Amino acid sequence: MNILLLSSGGGGGNILRSVKALFDRDVAITEKVDPAYAARLKDAIVARFLDTNEFSLSDIPDRERLVIGVRTTGRLGARHDPDVARQALDESKSEVEALISRYSVVIVIGTGGKGTGAGTIFPLAEIARRQRKLVLPIFVRPSFERHEVDKRRYDHALTIAQQFDTARIRLVEILNDRGYDDADPQPQSLVWERMNLPIARALRGLMYVLWDLSQVDPSDLAALFAGHGRFRIGFGELDPRDGQEPSDEQVQRAVRDCWENSHYAFTRPAGTSLICIHGDWSNIADARIKGGLAASATAGAAASPYSPLYTRVAHSPKPWGVTGLFAEFTGVHAAIDVEWPLERGAVRAAYQVLPGDVPRVFDAEAIEEAPAETVLPQIAPRGAQETKSSNPPFTTLWELAVAMNRSDPAALAIARDDAHPAILADGAEVKKLLRTVWFRTVVPQLSEDWKSRLLEALVRDVLIADHVVKVGRLSMRLSELTYAQLCEVAAKFSIPDTVKPDLDLMVTVGRLFGDAAVERLQFSDAVPRPSGLAGLLHGLRS
């Protein structure tokens, strides 16, 4: 998955500049300890500055500029008129649509201040949603009380947020009013950094989650973004001493920083939320972080809609901490329709050039001085064999699959090798993996030995309920169907919810392991063949 950061107008551009600078700063730190990871971060995120005023983009590299509505505005701006900005976007619509179509996740940043941002942020989000992208709008409501805009523009900004609500597109809404504290006056630059840092930091966590979809089910993400309401992004940094657990005080502070962010519009209880923890510490510390966030989110209420989706980033470079994307609970909504890419693109390709595991190095000089052979060991079958006999870096199949999906060189080396006996392959785990979208891109990278081992485990440990399905006018059991028939049933006929998971699993097995693999699957006879009348009724229902 790749992420497009798209700013709209001068205000949005300023925020994107700030977010990008903060993000680049983090990447620079990352580069010192893990250049491959840093490269991956850089490749996964692309920034584009959209504007009607060419002059406001003078400091932006050409490849990152996107001037819209040249005929409408003469490249001179939208004359503080959101309607002119909308016309400019209409003029350049095909160009913008083509840009958005190349990315899986689109983060649109704009302010409600003057013309371009106010006039285009909602249409841009709509374009992305129409293209079935995961869209996260970040909208800044300006302050009229502190004279950033006049009241008329402030009122217009309110209508933009309402447009998002009506279209059921969740957004992050930042309230600039909250950046002014009479009791604790601060320079504007510091306030902006306070507002933007959580976005930049959270992007790392979100990028990690969104990039490979291995830790969160796509369906959960689609549910997270469903319905109207606000998102709140938070980041709490945790920096324990090397090799030590974070203290209670550090955890509490990180939880508080992640949860409390007064700059955002967020008035309802938190519902489905994405929590991403990164840092090298124990699961006990993880539990304390999760517990702290849950306590904050539920506020002690017995019945709370808070439903966290936890993800864990192991061995990631600093800054460590916890990232939260909290969604207001606004009721139960049908999940949004998102086009999840099953093919991984340039990022994966860039990663695959590394032929082996990359040793952890701890400063930039060490990278420069170390001989290439030492830094990037060649993967020969013999070398892999040696790895196998030593302590394996992955103990479960799931860990291996997740790492492969992240194009982890060590995992890819193991995957290309003979099946590694030290890594347990359990049929139930294989079944669980086969039901995820991302694993379907992992299987083709496995060696034949690995594939046959996974299939053996599945055949040995998993019994599939032998449901009866209608194929044309015939009632047939799943075990009686060929792979081609299974595909036809899955594509053409209405399948009851109780049958669909098993049918999908069989289709996936056929697609990934070959037609013959389907015939090897084991079935339970628990499901009786329906009577003639029941079959007739089923036929009527479908």
Partner 1 sequence: MIGPYALAIRDSDITAVLWICLVVGAVALWSLLDTYLVERQRTLDVMAGFGHRFVREFERPLLQPFPDSNRIRWRLRASPERKHLDILLAAGTSGKYPNLSDHKENLAYDIVRIERLLGDQSFASETPYAEGEWVVVPFQFNTQV
Give min distance, CB of 181 to partner 1, in A. 12
Nearer to partner 1, 110 or 236 (CB): 110
Q: What stretch of H or E contains 469? A: strand 468-471
Answer whether 300's CB lies under 8 Å from 16's CB. no
Size of residue set near partner 1 by CB under 8 A: 17
Give min distance, CB of 170 to partner 1, in A. 14
Give min distance, CB of 297 to partner 1, in A. 18
Using the contact rule CB under 8 A, the part of the chain among 110-118, 129-137, 262-270, 437-445 near partner 1 is 262-270
Nearer to partner 1, 151 or 241 (CB): 151
Contacting residue, 265, 358, 413, 517, with partner 1 by CB under 8 A: 265
Nearer to partner 1, 172 or 400 (CB): 172
Contacts of 154 (CB under 8 A, 6+ apart): 112, 141, 142, 143, 144
Using the contact rule CB under 8 A, the part of the chain among 149-157, 217-225, 375-383, 423-431 near partner 1 is 149-157
Touching partner 1, residues 195-234 (CB under 8 A): 230
Answer whether 440's CB lies under 8 Å from 342's CB. yes
Contacting residue, 21, 76, 132, 145, with partner 1 by CB under 8 A: 145
- Whole-number Å distance between alpha carbons of 421 and 417: 11
**φ, ψ for residue 370, nearest 5 deg:** -70, 135
Contacts of 86 (CB under 8 A, 6+ apart): 119, 120, 123
Question: Taking CB under 8 A as the rule, does residue 173 contact partner 1?
Answer: yes
Contacts of 323 (CB under 8 A, 6+ apart): 201, 202, 204, 205, 206, 233, 234, 235, 258, 274, 275, 276, 277, 278
463-465/321-328 β-pairing: unpaired
Nearer to partner 1, 90 or 165 (CB): 165
Give min distance, CB of 151 to partner 1, in A. 4
Question: Taking CB under 8 A as the rule, does residue 83 contact partner 1?
Answer: no
Nearer to partner 1, 183 or 284 (CB): 183
Contacting residue, 55, 94, 98, 151, with partner 1 by CB under 8 A: 151
Contacting residue, 150, 239, 519, 525, with partner 1 by CB under 8 A: 150
Give min distance, CB of 177 to partner 1, in A. 8
Give min distance, CB of 534 to partner 1, in A. 53
Structure tokens at 13: 């551009």
- Whole-number Å distance between alpha carbons of 485 and 216: 31
Question: Taking CB under 8 A as the rule, does residue 184 contact partner 1?
Answer: no
Answer whether 75's CB lies under 8 Å from 56's CB. no
Q: Please say whether the dihedral angle defined by the alpha carbons of residues 395, 396, 402 and 405, taken in this order, is positive or negative.
A: positive
Give min distance, CB of 457 to partner 1, in A. 52
Structure tokens at 315: 């061995």
Q: What stretch of H or E contains 289? A: helix 283-298
Report long-range pairs for 176-180 (Cβ below 8 Å, ≥24 apart).
176/140, 176/141, 176/142, 176/143, 176/146, 176/148, 177/141, 177/143, 177/145, 177/146, 178/262, 178/263, 178/264, 179/143, 179/263, 180/143, 180/146
> What is the residue whose two structure tokens read 């980041």?
235
- Whole-number Å distance between alpha carbons of 489 and 172: 42
Question: Taking CB under 8 A as the rule, does residue 155 contact partner 1?
Answer: yes
Nearer to partner 1, 150 or 280 (CB): 150
Question: Taking CB under 8 A as the rule, does residue 148 contact partner 1?
Answer: no
- Give the length of the chain: 542
Contacting residue, 58, 61, 147, 184, with partner 1 by CB under 8 A: 147
Nearer to partner 1, 225 or 266 (CB): 266
Structure tokens at 59: 């400091």
Nearer to partner 1, 127 or 140 (CB): 140
Nearer to partner 1, 155 or 339 (CB): 155
Question: Taking CB under 8 A as the rule, does residue 306 contact partner 1?
Answer: no
Nearer to partner 1, 232 or 406 (CB): 232
Question: Taking CB under 8 A as the rule, does residue 260 contact partner 1?
Answer: no
Nearer to partner 1, 144 or 192 (CB): 144
From the list 42, 325, 57, the residue with the least C-alpha distance to 206 is 325
Touching partner 1, residues 426-485 (CB under 8 A): none
Give min distance, CB of 266 to partner 1, in A. 8
In the complex, the residues that contact partner 1 under the rule CB under 8 A are 144-147, 150-152, 154-155, 158, 161, 173, 175, 230, 265-267
